[in-house]
């Protein structure tokens, strides 16, 4: 069973959307729990979930399906979106703004009251089975003029905004996920908050809850704290040596400088 610690009313809102066949858009920074939340809700609702990591080369055929050639000739193979539509499952498109506009246009008839998927290559028009749910996510911090969601697309979705959890909740999540003690979790969260304060100045991305969990695992495996912080949290944030060294000074301020 997937562990998820609610931070607001997101569980109730997702259930209400699911009960009414409404598509959901989840916005939030990297590593704040968007994908974990979708997996958790799929388990709670007892529905299969098909996850697609969106990217520039993703095509409509990757979502819908394509004809393949086998030993007995040509046959059709459903894509993850089509399987979810047929089975009444959840199709989750992670970082949907990374996909090309001519790919995401296939979502439009599924994201309104039609709830149907035209399959051009077979001539089918599938009506979504009961339980089907379209869920997409993206990180608003990565938005640009070329990679933003069109307002006409956003307005098809119920929107949930995620952020990093409050201090006590984040400590609980780190403890639960890594098995570390409360003291280490508290120190790691304090370190992350200090690093997050620098995001708008020197860093493109903040220290995520995911990175805290990675670091806690390293410490529990016997890696010295400063080294674990460098490998688990600091190095993933920047390739610039000067920035890494400056961030390590923040680590030493929280944990002390190693002998």
What is the predicted pLDDT for the residue at 146?
47
- The answer to whether 29 touches 164, Cβ cutoff 8 Å, is yes
pLDDT digits (tens, 9 = 90+) for 204-234: 788 999 999 999 999 999 999 999 999 999 9
Provide the whole-model pTM. Answer: 0.88
Q: How far is CA 47 from CA 43, 109, 163, in A?
A: 6, 21, 26
**Alpha-carbon gap, residue 78 to 73, rounded angstroms:** 16
Residue 4: enclosing H or E segment and its boundaries? none
**Alpha-carbon gap, residue 116 to 129, rounded angstroms:** 9
Domain range annotation of the chain: 10-161, 167-255
- How far from the centroid of its chain's Cα atoms is residue 22's Cα? 19
Comparing CA positions, the residue from 14, 7, 90 lying closest to residue 52 is 90
pLDDT digits (tens, 9 = 90+) for 37-66: 999 999 999 999 999 999 999 999 999 999
What is the predicted pLDDT for the residue at 145?
42
Query: 10-161, which class in CATH?
Result: alpha beta
Tokens describing residue 165: 């959890």
- How far from the centroid of its chain's Cα atoms is residue 30's Cα? 7
What is the predicted pLDDT for the residue at 198?
81
């Amino acid at each position: 069973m997937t562990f998820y610690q609610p931070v607001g009313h997101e569980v109730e809102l997702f259930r209400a959307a699911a009960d009414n066949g409404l598509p959901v858009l989840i916005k939030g920074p990297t590593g704040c729990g968007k994908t974990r939340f979708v997996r958790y809700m799929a388990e709670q609702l007892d529905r299969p979930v098909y996850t697609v990591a969106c990217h520039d080369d993703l095509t409509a055929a990757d979502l819908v399906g394509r004809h393949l050639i086998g030993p007995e000739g040509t046959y059709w193979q459903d894509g993850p979106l089509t399987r979810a539509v047929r089975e009444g499952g959840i199709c989750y498109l992670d970082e949907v703004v990374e996909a090309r506009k001519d790919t995401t246009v296939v979502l439009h008839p599924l994201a309104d009251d039609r709830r149907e998927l035209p399959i051009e290559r077979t001539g089918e028009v599938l009506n979504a089975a009961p339980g089907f749910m379209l869920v997409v996510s993206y990180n608003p911090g990565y938005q640009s003029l070329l990679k933003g969601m069109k307002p006409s697309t956003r307005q098809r979705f119920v929107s949930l905004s995620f952020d990093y959890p409050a201090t006590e909740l984040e400590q609980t999540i780190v403890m639960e996920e890594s098995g570390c003690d409360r003291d280490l979790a508290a120190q790691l969260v304090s370190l992350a908050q200090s690093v997050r304060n620098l995001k708008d100045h020197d860093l493109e991305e903040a220290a995520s809850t995911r990175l805290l969990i990675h670091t806690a695992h390293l410490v529990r495996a016997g890696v010295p704290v400063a080294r674990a912080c460098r490998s688990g949290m600091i190095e993933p944030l920047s390739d610039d040596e000067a920035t890494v060294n400056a961030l390590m000074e923040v680590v030493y301020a929280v944990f002390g400088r190693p002998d």
